[in-house]
């Protein structure tokens, strides 16, 4: 590879041709500030619109200042990153961005995690000139079940657009209008709820300001916990434990399961349960469905739909309900673990403890924004009462733990309650891309072959590649498996299914990068995609540490079928644990 030499702040550096000035400076340990720029290395997303001009530098021989994020380094270039001219320009840019930005930092949902705020601190902004004549934007707030858009706080970095259009290929957002009136909005400025948005929340995960935030359910939770008439139970998704510690300053990849359980008990939940239990239940249903379809296929049934697609991810469900409506009978009918948990909690468990459905509040803690929408779907309500009352994110529960004066990092470990808290390693890996299908493989293999797996780790299914495939030998029967994370990658696999080219028997799809560990409700990664890698490792470590690692060996799952459900895919299981999909294409528009 061709190398070039340049000088940045009087230091020489040698970089590969094509490297930007920003990256070259980083090699020297010079941290040029950026705002609109975003580089998610492991996902191959580099967003450099050079729009905000915060990263400008002075280049000898060049008349104007150069945006370092989008300027290629050249041989012999001499760059200054903190000359007086640069510092003044940066400060002016910052002042102009702030001039029409709301000043309600104290009560802003992003306060303390806001890139814009950090930048203002970094530049030592003490006053914003011309506030007396500056006009403020007054764009309407847009509420949806999962996320809130407050475009007055938008600084037009357009990171959300890159995630929505390029990474997810959802196409819900675009910059519209011009000049002072420009905002990022859905087509025809419709409400986000009417747009093709799937609530994956990746826009929220990358938004540098309070323009995109999640719907907050913490206050509702506090009042429910204080209500003696209510029994409040909680389920925690597998990916939460691999990331929650970050909110308390712990290094990424710290697994905090035991401390999280203690904290939830301290908060006042009557029972602390685990979504992993329901993940095991999902495997029983989905795995059985897979085997059923496979068996019928092998027996020559032409009507059977293969590949079977996983259905745990609510954002992915929204995606195919809108954009692949001709394939609604292809995904598994199994509900997501969140909803299976809710259905079992409000029937089996409510009966067990003798609490009426309406007095039982089921809360879920999820790494996800789409889960907030999912639990409000009509299919998951009985006489208007939802199976899961509401879902809160990893970020929200961290905020609650802080409000309850708990020193999280000093809390002792404790275990989940029985019976809905017992889980296996298979349930844990639901939180990461490839995990659901690995968990299903562990169970389906043993149920199909009648043999015990020598090794439960299917390394060939693991990884962070956007699209992966593997063939698993089911005792002479080769099972072809496809895996995608990110809806853009999912689209590629789906198009093959649509055109009949797909050779897979089963495909796992997760909407977010890395699976749920990179969900829209997780602690903000601020562009550091290494964090997702660390969470990935934490999940597999947790799995390896479990005594039981196959869903069908979970003793409480076995008991649940014995006492209540009968067998997988029984009529009762169908009623409580399966769902149907709705054609939502009419409300949206295209992107084939």
Partner 1 sequence: MKEILRFAQNDKKADDSKNIEKKQNMSRIKVELRKDQIEKIGEICQSFNNEPGELINVLHKTQGTFGYLPAEVQEVIAKNLNVPVAKVYGVVTFYSFFTMIPKGKYPVSICTGTACYVRGAEKVLDEFKKELKIQVGETSADGKFSIACLRCVGACGLAPVVMVGEKTYGRVAPEMVKDILAEYKD
Catalytic residue set: 286, 289, 312, 332, 371, 374, 379, 516
Does residue 127 bind partner 1 (CB under 8 A)? no
DSSP assignment, residue 164? Answer: I
Query: By C-beta, is 174 or 218 nearer to partner 1?
Result: 174
CA atoms of 177 and 157, how far apart (whole Å): 15
User: Does the footprint of partner 1 cover residue 156 (CB under 8 A)?
Assistant: no
E strands, 152-192, where?
Answer: 174-176, 183-185
DSSP at 335: P
User: Does 128 participate in binding partner 1 (rule CB under 8 A)?
Assistant: no
d(CA 238, CA 435): 11
At its nearest, how many Å lie between partner 1 and the CB of residue 314? 21
DSSP bridge partners of 472 = 479
Q: How far apart are CA 235 and CA 275, in angstroms?
A: 5
Closest contact distance (angstroms) between CB of 179 and partner 1 is: 5
Beta bridge partners of 46: 39
Residue 359 and residue 330 in contact, taking contact as beta carbons nearer than 8 Å: no
Q: For partner 1, which residue of 127, 180, 223, 476 counts as binding (CB under 8 A)?
A: 180
Comparison of 10 and 138: residue with beta carbon closer to partner 1: 138
CA 76 – CA 371 distance, rounded (Å)? 53
What is the helix (H) or strand (E) element at residue 39, kind and residue range? strand 38-40
The interface region with partner 1, picked from 2-10, 186-194, 515-523, 564-572 by CB under 8 A, is 186-194
Segment near partner 1 (CB under 8 A), from 183-191, 228-236, 389-397, 497-505?
Answer: 183-191
Minimum Å distance from CB 172 to partner 1? 6
The reply on whether position 501 binds partner 1 by CB under 8 A is: no
Which residues have C-beta within 8 Å of that of residue 367, sequence separation ≥ 6? 237, 239, 240, 243, 393, 394, 431, 512, 516, 517, 519, 520, 521, 522
Q: Near partner 1 by CB under 8 A, which window of 4-12, 179-187, 510-518, 561-569?
A: 179-187
**Residue count at the site for partner 1 (CB under 8 A)?**
29
Least distance from C-beta 136 to partner 1, angstroms?
Answer: 13
591 part of the interface to partner 1, by CB under 8 A: yes
Identified binder of partner 1 from the candidate list 177, 227, 359, 413, rule CB under 8 A: 177
How many other C-beta atoms can be found within 10 angstroms of the C-beta atom of residue 350?
19
Strand order in the sheet with 360-366: 271-274, 231-236, 360-366, 390-393
Q: For partner 1, which residue of 64, 107, 130, 454 counts as binding (CB under 8 A)?
A: 130
Asked if residue 188 binds partner 1 (CB under 8 A), the reply is yes
- In 3D space, the residue among 378, 382, 391, 361 whose CA is nearest the CA of residue 521 turns out to be 391
- What are residue 415's phi and psi, to 5 degrees? -100, 155
129 binds partner 1, rule: CB under 8 A = yes
89 contributes a contact to partner 1 by CB under 8 A: no
The minimum distance between CB 158 and partner 1, in angstroms, equals: 11
Contact between 195 and partner 1 per CB under 8 A: yes
Determine the interface stretch with partner 1 among 40-48, 168-176, 297-305, 495-503 (rule: CB under 8 A). 168-176
CA 95 remoteness from chain centre: 33
Q: At 15, which helix (H) or strand (E)?
A: strand 11-16
Give yes or no for residue 590 binding partner 1 (CB under 8 A): yes
- Smallest distance from partner 1 to CB 168, Å: 11
Contact stretch for partner 1 (CB under 8 A) within 80-88, 146-154, 167-175, 523-531: 167-175
The least distance separating partner 1 from the CB of residue 268, rounded to whole angstroms, comes to 43
Cβ 165 to partner 1 shortest distance, Å: 6
Q: Which of 163, 172, 461, 506 binds partner 1 (CB under 8 A)?
A: 172
Quick check: 181 binds partner 1 (CB under 8 A)? yes
Q: Strand 477-485 to strand 506-510: parallel, antiparallel, or no bridges (unpaired)? A: parallel
Q: State how far Cα 146 lies from the chain centre.
A: 12
* Helix 275-298 vs helix 435-449: crossing angle, to nearest 10: 50
Binding mask 64-83 for partner 1 (x = CB under 8 A): --------------------
Could you tell me which of 403, 414, 98, 95 has the C-alpha nearest to residue 265? 414
Q: Does 44 bind partner 1 (CB under 8 A)?
A: no
Cβ neighbours of residue 54 closer than 8 Å, sequence gap 6 or more: 33, 34, 35, 36, 90, 93, 94, 119
What is the DSSP track for 89-113? HHHHHHHHHHHTS---GGG-TTTTS
Bridge partners of 142, per DSSP, are 149
Site for partner 1 in 560-579 (CB under 8 A): none
The answer to whether residue 49 forms part of the interface with partner 1 (CB under 8 A) is no
Does 589 bind partner 1 (CB under 8 A)? Our answer is yes
Q: Kindly state whether residue 488 participates in binding partner 1, applying the rule CB under 8 A.
A: no
Applying CB under 8 A, the span of 180-188, 390-398, 402-410, 541-549 interacting with partner 1 comes to 180-188
Q: How far apart are CA 54 and CA 97, in angstroms?
A: 10
Nearest-angstrom CA–CA distance, 225 and 404: 12
Per CB under 8 A, the list member of 128, 187, 304, 404 interacting with partner 1 is 187
Exactly one of 36, 185, 426, 436 binds partner 1 (CB under 8 A); that residue is: 185
Q: Is 165 an interacting residue with respect to partner 1 (CB under 8 A)? A: yes
- Collapsed DSSP state (helix, strand, coil) of residue 390: strand
| Least Cβ distance, residue 178 to partner 1 (angstroms) | 5
**Which residue, 131 or 295, is less far from partner 1 as judged by CB?**
131
Q: In 440-552, which ranges are E strands?
A: 467-474, 477-485, 506-510
Stretch of 163-171, 333-341, 474-482, 538-546 contacting partner 1, by CB under 8 A: 163-171
| Contact range with partner 1 by CB under 8 A, out of 78-86, 187-195, 270-278, 476-484 | 187-195
Figure out which of the listed residues 189, 191, 193, 216 binds partner 1, where binding follows CB under 8 A. 189
Residue 175 CB, shortest distance to partner 1, in Å, is 5
CA atoms within 13 A on the CB side of 500: 0
Point out which residues bind partner 1 (CB under 8 A). 129-130, 133-135, 165, 170-181, 185-189, 195-196, 589-592
């Amino acid at each position: 590879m061709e190398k070039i030499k340049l000088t940045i702040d009087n230091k020489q550096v040698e970089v590969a041709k094509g490297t930007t000035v920003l990256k070259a400076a980083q090699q020297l340990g010079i941290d040029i500030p950026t705002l609109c720029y975003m580089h998610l290395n492991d996902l191959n997303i580099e967003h450099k619109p050079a729009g905000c001009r915060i990263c400008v530098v002075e280049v000898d021989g060049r008349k104007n200042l150069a945006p370092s994020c989008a300027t290629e380094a050249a041989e012999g270039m001499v760059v200054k990153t903190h000359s007086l001219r640069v510092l003044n320009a940066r400060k002016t840019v910052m002042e102009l961005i702030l001039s029409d930005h709301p000043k309600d930092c104290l009560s802003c949902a992003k306060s303390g995690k806001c890139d814009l705020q950090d930048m203002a601190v970094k530049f030592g902004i003490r006053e914003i000139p011309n506030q007396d004549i500056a006009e403020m934007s007054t764009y309407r707030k847009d509420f949806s079940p999962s996320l809130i858009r407050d475009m007055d706080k938008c600084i037009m970095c357009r990171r959300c657009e890159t995630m929505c259009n390029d990474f997810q290929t959802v196409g819900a957002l675009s910059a519209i209008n011009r000049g002072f009136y420009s905002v990022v909005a859905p087509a025809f400025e419709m409400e986000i709820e009417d747009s093709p948005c799937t609530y994956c929340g990746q826009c929220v995960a990358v938004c540098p300001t309070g323009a995109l935030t999640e719907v907050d359910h913490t206050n509702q939770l506090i009042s429910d916990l204080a209500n003696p008439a209510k029994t409040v139970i909680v389920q925690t998704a597998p990916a939460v434990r691999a990331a929650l510690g970050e909110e308390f300053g712990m290094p990424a990849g710290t697994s905090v399961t035991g401390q999280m359980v203690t904290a939830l008990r301290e908060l006042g939940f009557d029972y602390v349960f685990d979504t992993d239990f329901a993940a095991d239940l999902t495997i029983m249903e989905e795995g059985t469905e897979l085997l059923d379809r496979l068996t019928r296929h092998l027996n020559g049934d032409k009507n059977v739909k293969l590949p079977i697609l996983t259905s745990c991810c609510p954002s992915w469900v929204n995606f195919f309900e809108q954009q692949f409506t001709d394939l609604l009978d292809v995904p598994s009918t199994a509900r997501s673990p969140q909803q299976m948990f809710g259905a079992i909690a409000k029937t089996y468990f409510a009966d067990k403890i003798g609490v009426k459905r309406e007095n039982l509040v089921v809360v879920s803690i999820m790494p996800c924004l789409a889960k907030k929408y999912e639990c409000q779907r009509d299919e998951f309500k009985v006489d208007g009462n939802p199976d899961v009352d509401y879902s809160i994110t990893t970020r929200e529960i961290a905020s609650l733990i802080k409000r309850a004066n708990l020193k999280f990092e000093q809390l002792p470990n404790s275990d989940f309650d029985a019976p809905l808290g017992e889980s296996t390693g298979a349930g844990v890996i639901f939180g990461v891309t490839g995990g659901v299908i690995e968990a299903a493989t562990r169970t389906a293999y043993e149920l199909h072959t009648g043999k015990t797996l020598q090794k439960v780790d299917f390394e060939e299914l693991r990884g962070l590649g956007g699209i992966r495939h593997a063939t698993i030998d089911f005792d002479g029967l080769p099972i072809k498996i496809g895996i995608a994370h990110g809806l853009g990658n999912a689209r590629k696999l789906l198009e093959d299914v649509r055109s009949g080219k797909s050779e897979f028997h089963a495909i796992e799809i997760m909407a977010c990068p890395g699976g749920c560990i990179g969900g829209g409700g997780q602690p903000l990664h601020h562009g550091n995609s290494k964090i997702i890698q660390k969470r990935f490792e934490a999940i597999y470590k947790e799995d390896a540490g479990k005594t039981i690692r196959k869903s069908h060996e979970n003793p409480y799952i076995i008991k649940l079928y014995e006492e209540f459900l009968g067998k997988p895919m029984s009529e009762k299981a169908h009623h409580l644990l399966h769902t149907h999909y709705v054609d939502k294409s009419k409300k949206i528009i295209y992107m084939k």
